[in-house]
Structure 1
Amino acid sequence: MSSRVASRGSVMANAIYGLLNPIPFGFFVAALVFDITYARTGVVQWGKGAAWLIVIGLLFAVIPRLVNLVQVWITSRRTALRADRLDFWLNLAAIVVAIINAFVHSRDAYAVIPTGVWLSVCTVILLAIGRVIIAAQAPAGDFGHE
């Protein structure tokens, strides 16, 4: 969410969004690292750890998306930028891919690779592209404020 859109929403919603929005990205990157480590070592605990990280990332991903949904699509429909909407769709697609990835990780440990790795890569790439788009639209000197 750009600062132009975020300034129109409630202060509490902006605080919740700013606090929770970066957390899923960290969990999904960690899950990707765990998946790659599992693919390289074959130690089942890395795969199980990745499964937990994906589920926790999904739990933290839902609330910021709901706040973003209200602020970009309902409250600030006319003032929301195209980049804000694209970021919303990229994050939503990443959540859908992560849900599929959670189901893949619920299978037998040896059935997770390589599908789990590719789904983790897709999730991280979608989230990263959304971050880059939002950062590119921010005015100069406004990169630290979401």
Structure 2
Amino acid sequence: MSYPPRRSAVANAIYALLNPIPFGFFVAALIFDGVYAKTGTILWAKGAAWLITLGLLLAIVPRLVNLTQVWITSRRFGSSADHVDFWLNVVAIVAAILNAFVHTRDAYGIMPAGLWLSIVTVLLIAIGHVVIAVHYSTVREIAHD
């Protein structure tokens, strides 16, 4: 029987509290980019740029906690799902950084790259959440049997 590795309760609490926030900012930026692509109103592009920047800033702490939990403290016990989620989030953050640079362009220079990078960022993080959810639901089912 395989149980999830024992991790710090404080680190788990910080991670659980802060991890969803950047994802929300990136989803909102995707919505703003979609509205900007349809309307051409610059307000939406500027709003998306701010949302991406805030999402990146707020992603720092949960990623550091995740880095510590997956690669340092539970190196022997980390599951492959934890590693996949970690790397998907790293690639998503790289895409978000590129997206922040794209959003520094002048008005129409943002599209379509800004929209595609927003889609990639949101999809990668969402896939990471699904991988973790499926893995730990499977582990719980095995533990209960």
The alignment's TM-score, normalised by the length of structure 2, stands at 0.91
CA RMSD of aligned residues (A): 1.5
Shift of 1:140: 6.2
Report the equivalent of 1:25. Answer: 23
The aligned residue for residue 89 of structure 2 is 91
Q: Distance in 2 between matches of 1:37 and 1:141?
A: 40
Distance 2:137 2:36 in 1: 41
Gaps of 5+ in 2: 141-145
Deviations 1:43-78 (A, max 9, x none): 000000000000011111111111011111010011
* Secondary structure in structure 2 of the residue aligned to 1:56: helix
What is the correspondence of 1:1-80 to structure 2 with a 5 Å cutoff?
A: 4-5=4-5, 8-80=6-78
User: Aligned letter for 2:112?
Assistant: P
- Alpha-carbon distance in 2 for matches of 1:127, 1:140: 20
Deviating above 4 A after TM superposition, structure 1's stretches of 4 or more consecutive aligned residues are none
SS at structure 1 position matched to 2:7: coil
2:110 aligned residue = 112
Q: Please name the residue that 2:134 is paired with.
A: 136
| In structure 2, distance between residues paired with 1:106 and 1:16 | 31
- CA distance in structure 1 between the aligned counterparts of 2:52 and 2:126, rounded to whole angstroms: 16
2: CA distance between counterparts of 1:124 and 1:13?
24
The offset of 1:139, in angstroms, is 2.7
Separation in structure 2 between the aligned mates of residue 52 and residue 139 of structure 1, nearest angstrom? 35
In structure 2, the residue matched to 1:101 is 99
Q: The residue matched to 2:70 in structure 1 has which SS?
A: helix
Q: State the percentage of identical aligned residues.
A: 64
The whole-number CA distance in structure 2 between the counterparts of 1:141 and 1:52 is 39
User: 1:141 offset after TM fit, Å?
Assistant: 10
Give the match's secondary structure for 2:102.
helix
| Number of corresponding residues | 138
Secondary structure of 1:9's aligned partner: coil
Separation in 2, partners of 1:115, 1:99: 13
Q: 5+ unaligned residues in a row in structure 1: which ranges?
A: none
Letter in 2 for 1:85: H
Shift of the alpha carbon at 1:28? 0.4
Matching residue's letter, 1:31:
A
